[in-house]
Structure 1
């Protein structure tokens, strides 16, 4: 049964009503009122029946429209208990309901899929209403980069971090700008971009922020490793045969000097020159081998160790020699349960290097003091800080201290802090420095 039967039923009723009306008029004209009254009653019954017939079907349609209006697709229409033409309507409505439910399910699945993807990326994303400031959506990376808890309106950032609010939210970054922000009390370099979009009558701003410090550090580390690899390879390939030849010539000349004795003055001078060449060649080889250590650190042998145990190992090794120089050193662990999954040997090497630098910075300081402290921040990340109250590092060279070969010391090699940085990058962490001239320095290891 379909819409054709519905039309046929209505058509039959209309013809019947027209026929009754004409017959009623005829009997009324003939003054045969008995027949007219009977026909009038019959006409009323047919009109009422037609009215209820149409009304019932319109009520079914209205019920369906209300379900669509209020998005109530949980209910269904029974196809077994109604008239055949209504069953046809119910069947159609149920098919529409099922199609809409499937579309909604697909849209929801796509939304959840997209949401999970955006939550997994390490790029911060937020969308909010430009007029009200209400947050439409944001991911965890955004909160982590800005170092803030979850919030529903950007006015929260305005109250808590007004400078950050002005830099990130009030300033437009259409082309993408490099912005330095403070997160976890440390300055990090970020890339910020935004765009405006409209949904019906509402205007939204989509803001994207990326921490580019890690990317820059990784690229910089890889570039230096490649450069060092080429340099040490070329230096060793060039110097090794020179050193070998100088060694051979030295032995031959020594034999000739012993034979010639009194007439060997020129040979002695020549031998002295060859010794100089040999010594400098060996020095260059040693220099190249030293810098090759930057390339050797590529794999980690991780194991779980409590921070307390790590500090105890370093304390036993370093405390006697440091205190012998008149420098006080303290190890502080704010939580005895803190533990790290690290390559213990390499992280010990990092801490030893930082402590030696701290000792060097404090050597002419009265009341010199070094402090090694482990803390856990709000994101449950572990930070180890090495403080000293030494001479400090000038701001103009702080950005260069992790560059290989760069050193501010007269006898420094420029390899120590570069190696520390590479080891922390291998641990998916980072190392940062804060220093003020004459006040001291703090190196922070973020795990």
Structure 2
């Protein structure tokens, strides 16, 4: 029976005693007839008859038994088919309920080997445009097999690309055949694992026999492959739903986080991170700040090199309208636009440099628009984590999020505008308050100055009147004193000292009158040429320096200057006398001079008692004095004389250390001369705080 089953042919043994392969089943048997039960080329069993007679069976018996074996084979085959298909269906239900891809693979290998009876089984799945071996059973060795789908090798690749079952009866004559883990394979059957028209992988079986598989094997393997495809698809769908659920949850959390963040840039960072978590490696958001007319760009996932590319600077504002034009309508997917890298028109129109430079792969863009249709910016997405561009349905959650994000961005811009406006208003109010304070202070100062000017004007007018009225009696008294001094040649010392006292007080009274007149009337500058050295030497010659005062005259400059010599000598004499008065116990008087640009700078320093802040503050005011005698006109007159030349006078003093006066005089007075001469008058204004000068003709 074994030989009959192996050969697939009937065998008649006339005398079993002469047959070495005979296996005795019953004593006394002398002849045997074994007929294989065959369904097609497949032997399902053997019908065997024996007899106690020699040569008991002839050709007629063989033919009759072959007919019976054929019917039995068909019946058995049908029954086996039903049973195996039922078992495959039962396994299929288990596959559909599998929780993981690993469980699907194990159940599939079990079904193929234990139920369907295939000895060498392998499962290959499509990943990254390659057909990868993920599991196998009954192989001679474990191999790592990856076949490119665009390649020309592999029976399994052909099945995956065509989506049809491929049966190779003899692989030795097949150029596509690629040896895997089965050595000496003779035949191969590759069934695509597909759901609809989408191929997920290949279920592959091999045999060491040629023509080892029939239509029944093909049908059973196709049924199993269908269940595998459904199971894998269900798992991927469940995984996709779980992933989508997580992403939606993250989008919802991000939406809440956006509303809690007032900063525009921080909101943009939350948006790009949320979109990145939705399945994109590289995301960029570009909006336009209407206040500053500048673009605000926030990115995620870009490398340092990519950040330097022009494309990473955001979509230019001039490209916005073009990207939303009718020309791009064919690339629209809902709110998004899919810009394919390998499209010739896109390559020329966009990547060629007309709009954007720097991209080297497919990308997607979407305008960010508010509910009223206002476009505030664009978001661009590149390199999906899944390796493939999403479908329209997969983009819907992202569209809803981006619409919410656009409103959040616009709100953030409004918040920042309000903050900026509020700060500007606060600054304006603060500046306005400051200006009001300054104006109020200025008005008060002006009022004070006006009152002071009016008072000084009255004083000046009164001083002029008093000066003129006193000058005549003083002249008479002076003449009378001179007459008495000449007539009384022989008088006692008492009368002589009284006359000298009268003369001294007449001179002092005359000085007061001169100061009053000099301060109140218009100044007349009689400009002549001299040198700083000569000016100081002449001033010193008119001043008596006490013995306890050390004089340092460091003025060596011989530069030619044009000044009213008498008035300038009066300035220096006044300052020298004040310095001497400030050093009652002796000290050092230092006079220096230096040239700077078109100015000559004099300094008169003493080591006297110095002045406090109050004295310094009122130093230039008329009628202010710290001396027992005097009207307080000396320094104000000095100031008038120096400023009349277009110069300036200032003072620095430290109590207990001394005082330094600094006089700056231009080489030539900074006065606009009129035709008619060099003699100048300085008008006495209503206030002594400013002076104007005019040229006058020579008398």
TM-score above 0.5, yes or no: no
Q: TM-score with structure 2 length normalisation?
A: 0.25
Q: TM-score with structure 1 length normalisation?
A: 0.38
Higher relative contact order (CA 8 A, sep 6+): 1
